[in-house]
Structure 1
Amino acid sequence: MKPTPFIAVEGPIGVGKTTLTQLISSQFHYHTLHEIVDENPFLSKFYENIEEWSFQTEMFFLCNRYKQLEDIQQLLQKQKPVVADYHILKNLIFARRTLTANQYDKYERIYHILLESLPMPNMMIYLKASVPTLLNRIELRGREMEQNIEPSYLEQLSIDYDHHMNAFQKKYPSIPIIELNSEEADFVRNPAALAEIIEKISYSMNNR
């Protein structure tokens, strides 16, 4: 019996995760799970002073995403497919970059304890884009808290994502990762590009 689909769409800030998630949900009629961002009371302070507010910010995200994973588990147990515009893996990506060594050690232990027995996605979609494109999309969507993000931060974040996705693939070789450049595969303006993505997803799911 094939597992109930659980797709996670990932990539750096502004790459188009939520847009693609909504398009996949519409195509397959999957339940959609969105990352909680605006509710984090520390995020605006984090972008102003990363060193001072990183631990509070990361712990808030971890607790909220843990709760969402519990919700996903309940849906999957009822055989309801899910597509999410993030995966909790991103917590380690951001935490490793922003926390001190001592903070990260504590954080990582809590992370692994919380994730015990919670569901893993059975497909990852990894979106990539150039830093100028990410900056432009961040500006267009107009979240005030994100307007102070430095290009160097996004550049390093993109490098970190590549590293962690490669590590994820080695650790979980049975979970397919579909890697897409969201500039070349313009799934918003080009129906053919979206159709190709949907075909890749369908092929991967049907051949598991």
Structure 2
Amino acid sequence: MIVVSGMIGIGKTSVAQILGDGLDSKVYYEHVSENPILPLFYKADQQEINEKRYPFLLQLYFLRTRFQSIKQAYKDDDAILDRSIYEDWYFTKINRDLGNINDMEFSVYEGLLEEMMKEIDGLPYKKAPDLNVYLRGSFETVMDRIFKRGRDFEQDEELVEYYRKLWEGYDDWLENYYSASDTLIVDMDKTDVVHNPQDAEALVEQVKDLLQAKNKI
């Protein structure tokens, strides 16, 4: 099992699809289009956030759907996760740091996550990813790809500082909080798997080599 991680808009879904095709693996995509809370979260002003608690509700929604996906993926011989439960804690922490999630909500979230991870550890099949493919890019690359993706609710200029806050701490999350598997870091400033077939092929081969070294394929 492979998890694909990285900043909003950096290209996780495209990379997951390419790896799924190249490794003949099922891809579990992030729940976005059917997520009823995500547009509300992006469009809410601070008063609505304080009243409706959209950030907390959003992270609970992602926690539930991520837990569902990771249990299904662990049953497959081969699977790719477009983001995973391991990364959601970081988004919750950032929203806590920004004051969008309060300390009590953060404590409730961490308690739920801890119990879910205990459940995962007790599963009778694979218990951790074989590889994390981490997509790293400059803030300029992130913003350019968010703009080109064109989701209306992501385009508000007032979201720029939120994106910057997430981006600034992502490497720290990887280096100090993620320990579930080995990590392959992909420089997305120099890699375009969508428009350059050679980049896509090279990434698939690199992942294959790493998995073969681990005797996973």
Q: TM-score, normalised by structure 2?
A: 0.83
- Count, aligned residues: 196
Amino acid at match of 1:163: D
- Superposed displacement of residue 144, structure 1: 1.8
Please name the residue that 1:122 is paired with. Answer: 130
Among candidates 177, 180, 186, match of residue 180 of structure 1: 186
Instruction: Find the aligned partners of 2:136 and 2:6 in 1 and give their Cα distance.
Output: 6
Cα deviation, residue 38, structure 1? 2.2
Is the aligned partner of 1:20 residue 2:20? no
Task: State the partner residue of 1:132.
Answer: 140
State the match for 2:83 in structure 1: 86
Determine the structure 1 residue equivalent to 2:66: 65
Which of these residues, 109, 113, 126, is aligned with residue 111 of structure 2? 109
Cα offset for 1:152?
A: 1.7
CA deviations 1:133-158 (Å, max 9, x no partner) are: 22222222221221226222122111
Q: 1:185 is aligned with what amino acid?
A: T
**Residues 18, 204 of structure 2: 8 Å contact kept:** no
Q: Indicate if the aligned counterparts of 1:17 and 1:127 stay in contact, CA closer than 8 A.
A: yes
The amino acid of 2:57's aligned partner reads: Q
* 1:62 partner letter: L
Q: Is the 8 A contact 1:25 1:32 kept in 2?
A: yes
Q: Any unmatched runs of 5+ in structure 1?
A: 1-5
Q: SS at the partner of 2:190?
A: coil
1:152 aligned to 151, 156, 161, which one?
Answer: 161
Shift of 1:168: 3.9
Give the residue type in structure 2 aligned to 1:197.
L
Any unmatched runs of 5+ in structure 2? 96-100, 121-126
| Matching residue's letter, 2:71 | E
CA distances 1:76-112 after superposition (whole Å, capped 9, x unpaired): xxxx200111111221011011122221111101011
The answer for the alignment partner of 2:26 in structure 1 is: 31
2:98 matched residue in structure 1: none
Q: Is the 8 A contact 1:25 1:83 kept in 2?
A: yes
Percent of aligned pairs sharing the same letter: 24
CA contact (8 A) 1:131 1:151 kept: no
Q: Which moved more, 1:54-63 or 1:42-51?
A: 42-51
Written as runs of structure 1 = structure 2, the 5 A alignment for 1:1-16 is 6-16=1-11
Distance 2:88 2:23 in 1: 27
